[in-house]
Chain A
Amino acid sequence: GIQVEQSPPDLILQEGANSTLRCNFSDSVNNLQWFHQNPWGQLINLFYIPSGTKQNGRLSATTVATERYSLLYISSSQTTDSSVYFCAVAQTGANNLFFGTGTRLTVIP
């Protein structure tokens, strides 16, 4: 299967700072999603972004499929952004996702 690497594994920020989370993957994909995991363990969709750029409020994501990476940007971080963020990809022709091990973001007041 595809290898998915996320960096950094842990990130601690002051409230108001901006952050960039990175996801590298080892093969061509037709599906890339960013999730965050709520305190009760549920994965919540943030973006479906196999290529291009999308924005949703303070969050945006960019995927450069030809270079096999995706970036999740969080601007003006708030303490409520503290969570574990996962990147997941699926190979062309498949639906099953391969996950990275996540980035744990902690935003301190």
Chain B
Amino acid sequence: DVKVTQSSRYLVKRTGEKVFLECVQDMDHENMFWYRQDPGLGLRLIYFSYDVKMKEKGDIPEGYSVSREKKERFSLILESASTNQTSMYLCASIRQGTDTQYFGPGTRLTVL
């Protein structure tokens, strides 16, 4: 079974803090993704990575950065958290050339 794990289920941070969200997958997938989910807006892609040290901007990259130093780990970084980044963050991975994207359990981030 593919397993995608995220470091925290719930996280509360203060405005201006630097926040790290970690995602790890155990199936040697090349491609990894970070989405955020907001009511009425569905899921929107923040960043994705198709290989170690490679990254591509998604639809809403502003205010975020990412790091992929190892194949199994993809980190989302909020350099200076703001209240409008309060959201549900979902990580996903997929093997190159295959069909099904697998999701982690999500991290619900609240920025006060």
Do A and B come from the same complex? yes
Known: A41-B108, A42-B106. Contact between A95 and B99, CB under 8 A?
no
Stretch at the interface among B19-27, B40-48, B64-72: B40-48
* Contact bitstring A55-78, B, C-beta under 8 A = 1, else 0: 000000000000000000000000
Q: How far is the CB of B89 from chain A (nearest CB, A)?
A: 10
- CB atoms of A95 and B88 under 8 A apart: no
Q: Is B94 an interface residue (CB 8 A)?
A: yes
Q: Is B90 an interface residue (CB 8 A)?
A: yes
Q: How far is the CB of A56 from chain B (nearest CB, A)?
A: 13
Interface centre among B40, B43, B92, B96 (most CB of A within 10 A): B43
- CB atoms of A86 and B99 under 8 A apart: no
Chain B, residue nearest A32 (CB): B99
Q: Is A11 an interface residue (CB 8 A)?
A: no
- CB atoms of A95 and B59 under 8 A apart: no
- CB atoms of A102 and B94 under 8 A apart: no
- CB atoms of B48 and A33 under 8 A apart: no
Q: How far is the CB of B12 from chain A (nearest CB, A)?
A: 16
Chain A, residue nearest B89 (CB): A41
- CB atoms of B90 and A43 under 8 A apart: yes
Q: Is A19 an interface residue (CB 8 A)?
A: no
Q: Is A88 an interface residue (CB 8 A)?
A: yes
Chain B contacts for A102, CB-based, 8 A: 42
B96 is contacted by which of A41, A86, A95 (Cβ under 8 Å)? A95
A97 to B62 CA separation, bound complex (whole angstroms): 19
Known: A96-B48, A97-B45, A99-B43. Contact between A42 and B104, CB under 8 A?
yes
- CB atoms of B33 and A96 under 8 A apart: yes
Q: Is B84 an interface residue (CB 8 A)?
A: no
Q: Is A1 an interface residue (CB 8 A)?
A: yes
Chain B, residue nearest A6 (CB): B42
Q: Which 3 pairs across A and B sit closest by C-beta, in order of nearness?
A: A41-B106, A99-B43, A43-B103
Q: A33-B100, A41-B88, A95-B101 are in contact. List 13 more A-B contacts (CB 8 A).
A: A31-B101, A42-B103, A45-B100, A45-B102, A48-B100, A50-B99, A95-B48, A96-B33, A96-B48, A97-B101, A98-B45, A99-B35, A101-B42
